[in-house]
């Protein structure tokens, strides 16, 4: 009996990459038949030991069978114990181990046929970890599972789950492989699916396969999308990656809204002000400008061409922001104008608000950021200053020339401030801060230029790749244009074409036609 | 691939065989899941694991994530001597207190078997600082340079030849008249700018979608 079931369960192994022995049509039919078989009630006796079957099947080769069996055992355990998370499913339990092993090694092509069940498994694993206060364990598994599935820019509820787990477990770097990915699709409605692809086709774009009907995501709302970007921003803030944090917050605060402004957007706006001050010393208008601003002077011209964030926010939304985030705006104004005392007063006055908004940590970093940007600004006026001069013009944290020297040295040494330090000959002599780039040694200057050239080359390569991809997407590639030109010729000689048989010989032609449907 | 079970022997085997700090960090990252499942009563093992894992963060210059690690360590482990030392070290690194960093690394009691990773970090920090000072100072008093590199500032200020030679061996020049060292900038390839690549990819993706 068991051997019969096992034979059936292992009848459709995953296809190696590029394998051609089984056609897409045959493989698709086999997998659909397998799913039908797996959905039969009472397929496996409820008394079966989970290990009995799971040990025999490979999660990477027989992913569909493995997933259904695992789900069956989880459901049995839940029924038996009348608990959502029975002991065997808790971290370290036998079903937990099988689930983790599966989520790290499943075949993404096979799972396309049971993606709803896949998501349920991810969610139950996360729930098990959260119940035992071990959210960290769920974070890594969820990340690995998402990477294994390879969703290519599609936002799902699992993404939101992942960033929540990262924040709950204070493990930020582990979430970056997912949060760094560009998201530009929601799961599509089934009506809009391109029916030209089979689910098992390696070349099928994920966007055409991952639909709402497939169950890849629980029902997504506007709020989920905002929360994902807010949480991602918080992850970047914890890592002091201000560019990325600003990008995510921009996505939230500029989100279109017809009337009411959500609390998430207001929270994001408050953080956005603080992140701007910490990252750039002022409230900068656009994430794209911010991110590209530092990478080379050649990109600065973009600044004028991109609309500022304030113009991307509807006036009624901006009015709400400005009224509810007044204390933050006051701090930002004082910070930008270099009014230290006023900034300190505003920060003291807003203590209750910072605490309520859970922004105390960010606000506390403003003092150091203030000093840093005051010193950076000095470079616009002075080419060289003594530490006593610097101390006089800065603030807050340092009390003596020695302390300010330590602070300035840390800025210069970390690369946050482009300057040089120079001690004068006497034992108790002064330390000069040379802010002019002209004071850099030839070697440093050459090194700086070399670095800029390398960055520019990287940028050009990235643009060139993007252009090629865009050409392909828009079907502007040379090959396609040649094909179109040929097609036009053919259309004038259709008889000849049909007799030559070339029209049907086209793997290439099929691909191009498929491309139209995207 | 399943990792061998986490034990003290396995931990120190990993420590001694990992080819680079990045490898050490990667392997210990994978082991963190096992560490999460070990009873907090296994203080010796967990304390050793988190101490070495903490240093692997510092060796790969992940200061913010090292701080995050200290937030997710099991509570009983936070009270152990070596993890307490790690917290002191983290504060000193966070605040760029060079003298304190060397003092903590050299004078606090670290577990015997963790000495190698402590020493590795001292070397790493010293090399990193040497490069940073070389690129930041045009002229520097020997005492200040010695403090940055964990050498004796008093001897350096007195012009101790051995200390001066350590700097001149790095290509720095010594001016006996002004009693100043002139560092030689360290030229190195800029790190690969993944951020730029990502930003431009975003722009291009927006254009094509």
Top residue of A96, A153, A423 to mutate, by most chain B CBs within 10 Å, is A423
Q: Between residues A162 and A206, which one has the greater pLDDT?
A: A162
Assessment of whether the complete model's pTM goes beyond 0.90: no
Q: How do strand B137-139 and strand B180-182 relate by DSSP bridges?
A: unpaired
Beta-carbon count within 10 A of B16 CB: 11
3-state DSSP assignment of residue A227: helix
B65: chain A residues, CB-CB within 8 Å: 172-173, 239
State whether A238 and B68 contact (CB < 8 Å): yes
DSSP codes of every residue in A423-488: E-SSTT--EEEE--GGGS-HHHHHHHHHHHHHHHHHHHHHHHHHHHHHHHHTT-SHHHHHHHHHHH
Give A188's strand partners: A211
Q: What is the pLDDT of residues A144-193, one digit of tens each?
A: 999 999 877 889 999 999 999 999 999 999 999 999 988 878 877 655 55
B109 inside 8 A of chain A by CB: no
Q: What distance in Å separates the CA atoms of residue A136 and residue A142, rounded to the nearest whole number?
A: 10
What stretches of chain B adopt beta strand conformation (E)? 137-139, 173-175, 180-182
Q: What distance in Å separates the CA atoms of residue A472 and residue A312, rounded to the nearest whole number?
A: 30
Query: What is chain A's length?
Result: 518
Q: What distance in Å separates the CA atoms of residue B88 and residue B209, rounded to the nearest whole number?
A: 50
3-state DSSP assignment of residue B50: helix
Confidence band for A305, pLDDT divided at 50, 70 and 90: very low
Q: What distance in Å separates the CA atoms of residue A42 and residue A9, rounded to the nearest whole number?
A: 14
A473 inside 8 A of chain B by CB: yes
Least confident of A73-77, A288-292, A471-475, B102-106: A288-292
Which residue is it, tokens 């700086």? A448
pLDDT of residue A513: 34
Q: What is the pLDDT of residues A222-255, one digit of tens each?
A: 899 999 999 999 999 999 999 999 999 999 999 9
Whether residue A53 contacts residue A69, with contact meaning beta carbons closer than 8 Å, is answered with: yes
Whether residue A275 contacts residue A332, with contact meaning beta carbons closer than 8 Å, is answered with: no
State whether A455 and B133 contact (CB < 8 Å): no
Residue A482 reports pLDDT greater than 80: no
Q: Between residues A140 and A492, which one has the greater pLDDT?
A: A140
Q: What is the pLDDT of residues B43-102, one digit of tens each?
A: 999 999 999 999 999 999 999 999 999 999 998 999 999 999 999 999 999 999 999 999
Alpha-helix residue ranges (DSSP H) falling in A14-89: 24-38, 50-54, 63-81
3-state DSSP assignment of residue A432: strand
3-state DSSP assignment of residue B37: helix
pLDDT of residue A214: 78
Whether residue A107 contacts residue A14, with contact meaning beta carbons closer than 8 Å, is answered with: yes
3-state DSSP assignment of residue B173: strand
Nearest CB among A410, A450, A469 relative to B96 is that of A410
Token readout for A90 is: 């808790």
Confidence band for A209, pLDDT divided at 50, 70 and 90: low
A448 inside 8 A of chain B by CB: no
Token readout for A75 is: 């459901």
Q: What distance in Å separates the CA atoms of residue A364 and residue A387, rounded to the nearest whole number?
A: 24
Whether residue A244 contacts residue A235, with contact meaning beta carbons closer than 8 Å, is answered with: no
State whether A172 and B197 contact (CB < 8 Å): no
Which residue is it, tokens 């259709």? A494
Least confident of A154-168, A313-327, A429-443, B67-81: A429-443
A239: chain B residues, CB-CB within 8 Å: 64-65
Q: What distance in Å separates the CA atoms of residue A178 and residue A159, rounded to the nearest whole number?
A: 8
Whether residue B65 contacts residue B57, with contact meaning beta carbons closer than 8 Å, is answered with: yes
pLDDT of residue A462: 77
Q: Which residues of chain B have pLDDT under 50?
A: none
């Amino acid at each position: 009996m068991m051997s019969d079931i096992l034979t059936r369960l292992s009848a459709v192994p995953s296809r190696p990459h590029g394998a051609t022995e089984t056609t897409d049509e045959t493989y698709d039919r086999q997998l659909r038949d397998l799913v039908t078989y797996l959905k039969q009630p009472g397929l496996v006796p409820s008394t079966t030991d989970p290990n009995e079957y799971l040990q025999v099947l490979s999660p990477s080769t027989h992913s569909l069978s493995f997933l259904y069996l695992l789900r069956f055992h989880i459901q049995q355990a839940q029924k038996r114990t009348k608990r959502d998370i029975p002991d065997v499913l808790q971290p370290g339990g036998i079903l937990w181990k099988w689930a983790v092993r599966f989520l790290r090694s499943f075949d993404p092509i096979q799972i396309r046929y049971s993606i709803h069940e896949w998501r349920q498994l991810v969610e139950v694993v996360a729930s098990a970890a959260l119940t035992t206060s071990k959210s960290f364990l769920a974070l890594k598994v969820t990340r690995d599972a998402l990477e294994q599935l390879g969703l290519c820019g599609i936002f799902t509820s699992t993404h939101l789950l992942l960033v929540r787990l990262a924040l709950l477990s204070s493990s930020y770097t582990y979430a970056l492989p997912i949060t760094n990915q560009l998201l530009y699709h929601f799961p599509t409605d089934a009506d809009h699916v391109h029916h030209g692809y089979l689910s098992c086709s390696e070349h099928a774009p994920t966007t055409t396969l991952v639909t709402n009907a497939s169950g890849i995501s629980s029902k997504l709302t506007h709020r989920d999308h905002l929360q994902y970007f807010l949480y991602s921003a918080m992850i970047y803030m914890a890592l002091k990656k201000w560019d990325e944090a600003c990008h995510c917050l921009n996505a939230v605060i500029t989100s279109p809204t017809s009337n009411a402004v959500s609390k998430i957007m207001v929270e994001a706006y408050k953080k956005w002000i603080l992140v701007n001050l910490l990252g750039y010393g002022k409230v900068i208008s656009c994430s794209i400008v911010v991110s590209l601003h530092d990478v080379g002077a050649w990109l600065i011209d973009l600044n004028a061409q991109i609309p500022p964030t304030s113009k991307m926010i509807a006036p009624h939304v901006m009015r709400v922001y400005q009224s509810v985030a007044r204390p933050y705006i006051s701090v930002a104004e004082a910070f930008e104008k270099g009014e230290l005392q006023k900034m300190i007063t505003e920060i003291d006055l807003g203590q209750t608000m910072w605490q309520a908004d859970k922004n105390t940590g960010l606000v506390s970093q403003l003092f150091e950021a203030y000093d840093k940007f005051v010193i950076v600004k000095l470079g616009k006026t002075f080419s060289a200053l003594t530490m006593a001069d610097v101390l006089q013009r800065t603030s807050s944290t340092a009390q003596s020339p020695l302390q300010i020297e330590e602070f300035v040295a840390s800025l210069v040494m970390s690369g946050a401030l482009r300057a040089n330090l120079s001690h004068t000959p006497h034992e108790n002599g002064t330390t000069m801060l040379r802010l002019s780039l002209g004071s850099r040694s030839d070697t440093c200057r050459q090194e700086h230029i070399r670095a800029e050239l390398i960055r520019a080359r990287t940028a050009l390569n990235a643009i060139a790749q993007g252009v090629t991809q865009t050409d392909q997407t828009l079907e502007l590639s040379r090959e396609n244009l040649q094909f179109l030109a040929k097609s036009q010729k053919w259309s004038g000689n259709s008889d000849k074409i049909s007799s030559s048989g070339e029209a049907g010989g086209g793997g290439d032609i099929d691909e191009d036609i498929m491309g139209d449907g995207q | 691939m399943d990792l061998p079970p986490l034990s003290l022997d396995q931990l120190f085997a990993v420590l001694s065989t990992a080819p680079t700090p990045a490898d050490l960090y990667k392997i210990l990252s994978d082991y963190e899941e096992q560490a999460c499942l070990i009873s907090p009563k296994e203080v010796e093992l967990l304390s050793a694991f988190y101490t070495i894992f903490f240093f692997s963060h510092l060796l790969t210059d992940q200061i913010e994530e090292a701080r995050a690690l200290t937030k997710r360590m099991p509570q009983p482990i936070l009270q152990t001597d070596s993890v307490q030392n790690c917290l002191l070290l983290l504060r000193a690194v966070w605040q760029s207190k060079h003298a304190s960093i060397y003092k903590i690394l050299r004078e606090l009691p670290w577990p015997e078997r963790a000495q190698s990773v402590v020493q590795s970090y001292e070397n790493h920090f010293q090399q990193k600082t040497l490069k940073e000072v070389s690129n930041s100072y045009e002229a520097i008093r020997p005492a200040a340079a010695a403090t940055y590199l964990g050498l004796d500032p008093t001897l350096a200020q007195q012009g101790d030849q051995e200390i001066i030679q350590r700097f001149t061996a790095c290509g720095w020049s010594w001016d006996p008249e002004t009693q100043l060292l002139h560092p030689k900038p360290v030229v190195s390839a800029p790190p690969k700018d993944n951020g730029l690549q990502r930003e431009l990819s975003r722009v291009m993706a927006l254009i094509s979608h």
